Amino acid sequence: METVDRILSESPSIEELEDILHGGQLSCNHVDEVWPNLFLGDMYMSHDRYGLWRLGITHVLNAAHGKMCCKGSDDFYGTTVKYYGVPANDLPTFDISSFFYPSAHYIHDALSTTGAKVFVHCAVGVSRSAALVLAYLMIYCNYSLVDAILKVKERRWIFPNRGFLKQLMTLDNEFSYKLQSK
């Protein structure tokens, strides 16, 4: 716990973030509620329209839009679910940061609607989709990266790839800089 306390007061290294990611919740289901009315899951759940209906899902954010295993669309979910697709590759070299703000805005707008529930997914629900959920918590809920990771890990095992972690670290540093310059 001493390491986490120290990391909370400083900018963490990639290795320290990975140590935090390795701890805590070590499993995940096809879908887990990681924030009120915000669900994180995998492609299996994304294909289960009945399961999504039972959860009351009104919005889907597919972080692997157009990929072989995660071909989603408005047509698939029908008129009762709003769909947003992010064509991200789960590669450390992929620039997912360009989707941080649009995805966070989509989640925020949805959760601002009474009764809305958002399901964010990719193939496995631990890297691409997790990175976008972490960015949402940082952008709209004022969490630091470490706090966002710890919050999500209370409910689900996540492990964004190193490239995504570095991009989230950059976002975290931008927010830290803004706070320090006030």
Check: CB of residue 122 under 8 Å from CB of residue 63. yes
Per DSSP, the residues of 64-81 read BTTSTT----HHHH-TTS
> How far is residue 76's CA from residue 99's CA, in Å, rounded to a whole number?
22
- Cβ(46)–Cβ(70) below 8 Å: yes
Sign of CA dihedral 136, 162, 61, 36: negative
Is 122 noted as a catalytic residue in this protein? yes
Angle at 82 between CA 100 and CA 167, to 5 degrees: 10
CA 21 to chain centre: 14
Task: Please tell me which residue in 28, 70, 122, 141 is annotated as part of the active site.
Answer: 122
Residues with a known catalytic role: 122
